[in-house]
Amino acid sequence: MPPDLITLTPQGLWCEAGGFHIDPWEPVDRAVITHAHSDHARPGSASYLTSPSGAPLLRIRMGPGARVEPLAWGERLAVGAATVSLHPAGHVLGSCQVRVEAPGQASWLITGDYKLAPDATCEAWEPVRADVMLTESTFGLPIYHWAGERDVLAEINGWWAANREHGRTSMLLAYSLGKAQRVLAGLDPSIGPIGMHGAIHAMNDAYGAAGVILPAWVHANKETAGELRGAGLIVAPPSAAESTWARKFAGRGGMATGMASGWMAVRGRRRWRALDRGFVLSDHADWEGLNEAVRSSGAERIGVTHGYAAAFARWLRERGLETFVVPTRFEGEDAGEAPAAAAEAGAEPADGEVA
């Protein structure tokens, strides 16, 4: 039996037949990138291959000197003795699943991060067939089940409107790439002005250039503080929550702080962050989505990584699939609280998880 087409090295996932890494952890000669989140896209590699809509976001993250090459959706590219194709993952704009094949070897599907739920701000997830699938498991426990996006966005708008009625400024914490744009696209600008933290501006511009429709927003800074104070909703990354930057917008009515994250489904997450409100909105697949993605791949051999890898691998193995756990050096922008959330849910953190 030939060796696996994809193996794990100190630099990350490696395809010897093609001479490239997928989402490498350290600088390499050639990297194929599933999406531009920092746990999947690391700086310093000689070249990067990614999707057409993911390329501008990757250039923002990697810097102007990075060599970023786009590959059209579904196009089969010969790389060494391997053939690579990219397929939408539905996680954030430009996020892709990487399918790799080579003569005489089982084909592989590296999903990266993905979700099956509809999202107007990115390409919809596509089922892809392969012999071996490597899936994430950020929310790989049955307790994670997402409500419809429309309902969650309606809750956010209702919370904002109620805050404005009481003269409070609303601040919604959301990751700067993907979640912030998804929330922004669902806000009702008739309620009041919308402000954006400076860390989100470049990502919004890239989404707009890709044709994603976003409502008007202003840079949340000292010049617009008077406009936003007591009436506006400000979208900011979680790191801005208790900063001096945030306090300038509180005003007489104070500040109401919420967060949009899948971790808001776990009891205690809102209290742990001292939030006024948590909204369960994730850019990762929930339990049903993970299982559907595995079924649709047709793969009989499943690798599991990120999040609750050991638990999800065990579940799939009990259902007749061959499984293996792939350790990861990094946890994603939406997975940073996984160990604490696991403890509250009564589950053990996954193998290889980083706190």
User: Based on the domain organization, do 176 and 230 belong to the same domain?
Assistant: yes
203-223 per-residue burial string, b: 16 or more CB within 10 A, e: under 16: bbebbeebebebeebeebeee
* pLDDT number for residue 355: 22
State residue 351's pLDDT score. Answer: 28
Within a domain: residue 16? yes
Residue 203 is assigned to a structural domain of this protein: yes
Judge whether 322 lies within some domain.
yes
The answer to the question of residue 352 being in a domain is: no
Q: Please indicate, yes or no, if residue 229 is contained in any of the structural domains.
A: yes
Domain co-membership, 271 together with 289:
no
Cα angle 124-126-129, degrees, rounded to a multiple of 5: 170
Query: 165: part of which helix (H) or strand (E)?
Result: helix 149-165
Lowest mean pLDDT among 55-59, 268-272, 284-288, 317-321: 268-272
Q: Indicate the residue among 223, 246, 279 that finishes a domain.
A: 279
In-domain check, residue 76: yes
Does residue 256 sit in the same domain as residue 274? yes
Q: What is the dihedral of CA 80, 85, 90, 92, to 10 degrees?
A: 40
Return the HEC string of 82-130. EEEEEEECCCCCCCEEEEEECCCCCCEEECCCCCCCCCCCCCCCCCCCC
State which residues form the domain around 174: 149-279
Domain membership flag for residue 351: no
Q: What is the CATH number of the domain that holds 134?
A: 3.60.15.10
| Segment 244-269, tens digit of pLDDT | 898 889 889 999 999 999 999 986 66
Q: What is the pLDDT of residue 64?
A: 86
AA letter at 277 = R
Same domain, 126 and 94: yes
Cα–Cα distance, 11 to 27 (Å, whole number): 8
Q: What is the pLDDT of residues 25-35, one digit of tens each?
A: 999 999 999 99
pLDDT of residue 111: 98
Q: What are phi and psi of 129, to 5 degrees?
A: -90, 140
Same domain, 133 and 154: no
Residue 241: predicted pLDDT: 86
Q: Are residues 254 and 217 in the same domain?
A: yes
CA distance 225 to 25: 40
Predicted confidence band of residue 231 (pLDDT cuts 50, 70, 90): very high
Within a domain: residue 181? yes
Domain-terminating residue out of 246, 261, 279: 279
Examine the domain organization and report whether 139 and 231 are in the same domain.
no
Which domain CATH number covers 259? 3.40.50.10710
Q: Does 262 share its domain with 319?
A: no
Residue 16, class by beta-carbon neighbours within 10 Å (0-12 exposed, 13-18 middle, 19+ buried)?
Answer: middle
- Specify the pLDDT at position 1: 44
pLDDT in tens, 303-355: 999 999 999 999 999 999 999 999 988 765 555 444 344 333 333 333 222 22
Cα 310 to Cα 108, 217, 347: the distances in Å are: 20, 42, 10
Of 223, 254, 279, which marks where a domain is finished? Answer: 279
The pair of structure tokens assigned to 229 is 């104070």
For 156-171, the pLDDT digits (tens) are 999 999 999 999 999 9
Half-sphere exposure at residue 65, Cβ-oriented, CA atoms within 13 angstroms? 4
Are 154 and 104 part of one and the same domain? Answer: no
Cα separation of 19 and 81, whole Å?
9
Given this model, what pLDDT does residue 329 score? 85
- pLDDT of 273 > 90? The answer is no
Count of Cβ atoms closer than 10 Å to residue 19 Cβ: 14
Question: Rounded mean pLDDT of 209-220?
Answer: 97
Average pLDDT over residues 198-216: 97
Percent of the chain predicted with pLDDT > 90:
85
**Same domain assignment for residues 247 and 267:** yes
| pLDDT value of position 350 | 31
289 and 140 assigned to the same domain: yes
Greater confidence, 266 or 292?
A: 292
Residue 246 and residue 318 share a domain: no
Overall number of domains in the chain: 2
